[in-house]
Amino acid sequence: MSAFLLRRLWQMVPTLFGVILLVFVLFNFVGGDPAYLLAGKISNPAQIESIRNQLGLNESYAVQLGIFIKQVVTADFGSSWSTNEPVSQIIATRIGPSLVVLIPILVIETVLAILIAVLVAYVRSSLTDRAIMVACTVAMSVSLLVYIIVGQYVLAYQFGWFPVQGWGESLRENLLKYAALPVLLGVAVGIAPNVRLYRTFILDEVNQDYVRTARAKGLDENTVMLKHVLRNALIPIITNLMAYLPALLIGHFLIERFFSIPGIGREVIMAVERSDFPVIKAITIYVAIATMVINLLTDLLYKAVDPRVKLQ
């Protein structure tokens, strides 16, 4: 196990360097001159040159790349161009609200999707199975934006069950009051595709030889489904779930934007609108690192779920 962990951690180094190099190239050769962006439309050559000197843009590309690598290693990406707030402080203060919304969405959505998928597998090929699959297909066809607009209008404006927008200082208040409707809508959007996918994983296992052998030995259907089928289906479910995590943090930016939740997703959109390169680069690097760490955790979960898996 220790040898596997060391090898995987060592493999992250060239991967991270590749990400750093790609981000550096994109922001220096594709994103335009930051000095012009900061100076604005009404500027003079002296002002632009002064900004270039402050940002180190007059240095060679090798020196600029070295500065960027140092920023990644020290986790110090400077200050935001728009607010002059340290980027590290921006990320530290925005990650909390995002997790308050996203962790409940992830847990509730995953548990419900697995439960429904198992129940559907019990009645596979029946009218109930087909009806649930049709309902999931219809739900998947509706945009997240529609869910947000209808949810805010009906549940917040008409019934007054939830606040439309806002965020407080208390974790309890945020979780039970301000995050309740965003979590409900997030689960409503994500549960349909997951039910369809997890149902496929479970039915793939149901048709395996070991399931027929278990039934031939006289095991009841509950034991077969829960002890054998579901346990083996957890491998692809974990793969899908862990691959979904990094995208989940950024992917629900519409929820954060419409509900005025001061999270990472909302910050990304605002940074893009303001061409705030330091914030965008920092979040890009952190998401890449999170993806590599999650891939490592996925392999470890494989081993925990199925002891037959060998970590090599």
Q: Is the pTM of this model over 0.85?
A: no
Angle ∠(300,202,143) on CA atoms, nearest 5: 90
**Residue where the block lists tokens 């259907």:** 221
Instruction: Kindly indicate the confidence band of residue 188, based on its pLDDT and cuts at 50, 70 and 90.
Output: confident
Given a cut of 60, whether residue 42 has pLDDT beyond it is no
Instruction: Give the phi and the psi of residue 8 in degrees, each rounded to 5.
Output: -70, -40
C-alpha–C-alpha distance, residues 269 and 263, integer Å: 10
Q: Where are the domains of the chain?
A: 2-74, 89-305
Q: What CATH number labels 89-305?
A: 1.10.3720.10
**pLDDT tens-place string over residues 254-295:** 788 888 888 888 888 888 777 778 888 888 888 888 888 888
Q: What are all long-range contacts of 94-100, with beta carbons under 8 Å and residues at least 24 apart? A: 94/262, 94/263, 94/264, 94/266, 94/267, 95/263, 95/264, 97/167, 97/174, 97/256, 97/261, 97/262, 97/263, 98/249, 98/256, 98/261, 98/263, 98/264, 98/265, 100/171, 100/174, 100/175, 100/179
C-alpha–C-alpha distance, residues 307 and 301, integer Å: 10
What does the pLDDT read at residue 213?
Answer: 80
